[in-house]
Amino acid sequence: MNKVTINPITRLEGHGKIEIFLNDDGGVANAYFQVPELRGFERFCEGRPVEELPRITPRICGVCPDAHHMASAKACDAVYHVDIPRAAKKLRELWYNAFMAGDHATHFYVLGGPDFVMGPTADPAERNILGVIQKVGLDVAKRVIRQRKEAHEVIEMLGGKPTHAVGALPGGLSKSINEEERVRLLEIGQGMVEFGQFSLQLFGDVVLKNPDYMDLVMSDAFTHRTYYLGLMDDDNRVNFYDGHVRVVDPDGKEFVSFTASEYREVIAEHVETWSYLKFPFLKKIGWRGLVDGPESGIYRSAPLARLNAAEGMATPLAQEAYETMYSTFGTKPVHQTLAYHWARLIEMLYAAERVVELAQDPEITSPEVHKVPTATPDEGVGMVEAPRGLLIHHYKTDSNGIVERANLIVGTTNNKAGICMSIKKAAEGMIKPGKEISEGILNIVEMAFRAYDPCLACATHALPGHMPLIVTVRDWQGNVLQEIRRDG
Amino acid sequence: MASEAATSVIEVCKSGNAGKTLVVGLGSPILRDDAIGLHIVRALADRLPRGSFSIMEAGAAGLGLLPLLEGWERVVFVDALLWSAELGSGPSPGRLHQLALDQLHSTLTLHSSHEPSLGDTLAVGRELGMALPEHILVFGVEVSDPFTFDDEMTPGLAARVESLADQIAGQVVTS
């Protein structure tokens, strides 16, 4: 069997690489996406007071510290059986939505967007934020930076610090806000709504009006019929901060719905010998390997999956955009992986509208933002939707609140199987028996996994994104037949 | 715990930084050797003249760094680094490398999966007319294990903190 390895060249041997195995005819046999897992989280947490975890877990990475902070604080609430005050719930949700709006903007304009704005075949040297600036103008870059800055301003106001916030604790928040701060939150939210609308307009002009891009989006190479899941409110509308998880089957029919404490009944984790990272799948359907369809327990998570699993968006402008997307595709669920980018922008607008809604709620200036936990701590699960997928923190403590066990399922992990399938399918389109493997495979494979916005910072620090790539084609004895390489 | 100390960012004032150097330690305090940059900048606090240097610890990368960089004459980064073939010879944890901006693939924080590179970040900032430092120095310290949750570094690396701080201080004070 021949082996093609696409490797960010600076990783340690055996870590974070894409491997494409060829069969004897030279066609694609399988594709694997390998990432290193951070070791020893459970042991690190053991013996620590559980209330420390909301401050420790954001340190796992600098990309989505707020997602870990929130999931951790919610798990602590559950461990202490405390129902936090309404104002605290609203402020946490507001903070979390501001974070989501900032994060999604970064992905679209810095990582995912360049493929479309510059074109999938553009020179990699131009296929980045600088290229985007050249093409759509400086004002957009200013606006992206403002979005991030203002998201950080919200996080600092509510969480005490702009990154690695500390404000959420078991029972609520450590501080309330005043009227002046509320007005500022509203102003920030309104700016984010405008930018959300602008971004969807840009996506419409650049992608939807370009038949070549739409052909690519609709192509079989980027399509998988899988299950989808996402966190929902009581009306089955997307919610990033709280609710129940709804799972739909490949036809869009509700398969199961579960709350945080029930996750283990629904999700199991499959282990492969070649990967450190486990593959979560739907227990009831079972693991059938890296294949899609209703018989395979593989599900997908993150923006497109959330929209597919939902019956709608909870805010008006996002709902309008949601309807436009589904009427454009004419089906629901949408199985086209590249539609993750579109779904991400719809979510960015939703997050912004939600910030505005919550900032208009007079209750958020209530001084009642913390309820002192009094119950004996034992076990709890906290869930949020991280930008890159469902994030679950599960802690078990002794009666003094000292951690005995901790388990995390992180966003990107939920999409591991989907990412592997997407890479395989993209590779199948590019690698044909008897045909030389061209440099085009780099772009197409990159696009396939970039749609998921894979952040492996929870699992490693420095994987794809802006990546140097090397593709090595070897014969079965390991001799190099061909090497395609692009540095940085 | 260690992360507590690591959160104490020295407040820096945006104005009045002209002619001054900001030294930024990067990394996570709970991923064993990844914390090396944080430990080194703490040790640098006693080694650099106060008036012309400020020190900060950060977990940020990419565009998140832009606001930090504005207004300084010079910025020095200290980050953990994974050995790669382009660094030459074999891996040697604790070895100090001074890197060029286009050589940052292997640093752990500056090269993030979710951010533009430092070079692109600076280019974006300049396009936007921000006053960004003329001089950027990046020091990478080779580490062996930035993948295990631990608030202690591997002993061999921990023992090198003081001498690494001496080396870096020597270079940034005279250069």
Task: List, for residues B79-104, the tens digit of each pLDDT value.
Answer: 888 777 667 788 889 999 998 776 66
Count of other CB atoms within 10 angstroms of residue A52: 17
Residue B26 above 90 pLDDT?
no
Q: Helix, strand, or coil here: B138?
A: strand
Helix (H) or strand (E) holding A62: none
In a domain, A145, yes or no: no
Where is the domain boundary, A312, A341, A362?
A: A312
Pair of tokens at residue A59: 């340190």
Pair of tokens at residue A473: 């084609």
**A37 vs B contacts (CB less than 8 Å):** 147
In a domain, A445, yes or no: yes
Q: Does B31 touch chain A (CB under 8 A)?
A: yes
pLDDT at A234: 98
pLDDT at A128: 74
Structural domain for A482, as ranges: 2-37+421-486
Confidence of residue B121 (pLDDT cuts 50, 70, 90): confident
Q: Does B64 touch chain A (CB under 8 A)?
A: yes
On whether the CB atoms of residues A71 and A260 are closer than 8 A, the answer is no
Q: Helix, strand, or coil here: A42?
A: helix
**B108 vs A contacts (CB less than 8 Å):** 461-462
The values of phi and psi at residue A217, to 5°, are -60, -40
Task: Name all contacts of A259-266 with Cβ < 8 Å and 24+ positions apart.
Answer: A260/A74, A260/A78, A260/A381, A260/A382, A260/A383, A260/A392, A261/A78, A261/A380, A261/A381, A263/A381, A263/A383, A263/A392, A263/A394, A263/A409
Least confident of A267-281, A342-356, B106-120, B161-175: B106-120
Confidence of residue B64 (pLDDT cuts 50, 70, 90): confident
DSSP state of A239: -
Nearest to B148 among A40, A138, A152 (CB): A40
Count of other CB atoms within 10 angstroms of residue B72: 25
Tokens 């719809």 appear where? A346
pLDDT at B7: 30
Tokens 């929902």 appear where? A232
Q: Does B5 touch chain A (CB under 8 A)?
A: no
Q: What is the pLDDT of residues B128-139, one digit of tens each?
A: 888 899 889 999
pLDDT at B1: 32
Mutation pick from A34, A118, A161, A164 vs chain B, by most beta carbons of B within 10 Å, is: A164
pLDDT at A13: 31
Nearest to A457 among B67, B113, B117 (CB): B113
Residue B69 above 80 pLDDT?
yes
A residues 413..472 contacting B (CB < 8 A): 453-457, 460-468
The mean per-residue pLDDT over the stretch B9-32 comes to 71
**For chain A, the helix, strand and coil percentages under 3-state DSSP, each to the nearest 5:** 45, 20, 35
Report CA-CA distances (Å) from A97 to A105, A308, A356, A424.
12, 20, 10, 34
How many CB pairs lie under 8 A apart between chains A and B?
148
Does domain B2-174 bear CATH number 3.40.50.1450?
Answer: yes
pLDDT at B107: 61
Q: Does B14 touch chain A (CB under 8 A)?
A: no
CB within 8 Å: A461 and B62: no
Burial of A462 (0-12, 13-18, 19+ CB in 10 A): buried
In a domain, A198, yes or no: no
Is the reported ipTM for this assembly greater than 0.90?
no
What is the DSSP pairing of strand A299-300 with strand A379-386? unpaired
pLDDT at B105: 56
In a domain, A378, yes or no: no
The values of phi and psi at residue B171, to 5°, are -75, -35
pLDDT at A483: 57
pLDDT at A394: 95
Q: Helix, strand, or coil here: B122?
A: helix
pLDDT at B115: 63
Where is the domain boundary, A293, A312, A331?
A: A312
pLDDT at B42: 95
CB within 8 Å: A461 and B112: yes
Tell me the domain boundaries of chain B. 2-174
pLDDT at A10: 27
CB within 8 Å: A163 and B123: no
Number of domains in chain A: 2
Measured between its terminal Cα atoms, the distance across chain A in Å is 29
In a domain, A264, yes or no: yes
User: Which ranges of chain A have pLDDT less than 70?
Assistant: 1-17, 34-38, 61-63, 124, 274-276, 439-440, 442, 455-488
Mutation pick from A38, A344, A467 vs chain B, by most beta carbons of B within 10 Å, is: A38
Mean residue pLDDT of chain A comes to 85
Least confident of A426-435, A471-480, B51-60, B141-150: A471-480
CB within 8 Å: A461 and B149: no
pLDDT at A275: 65
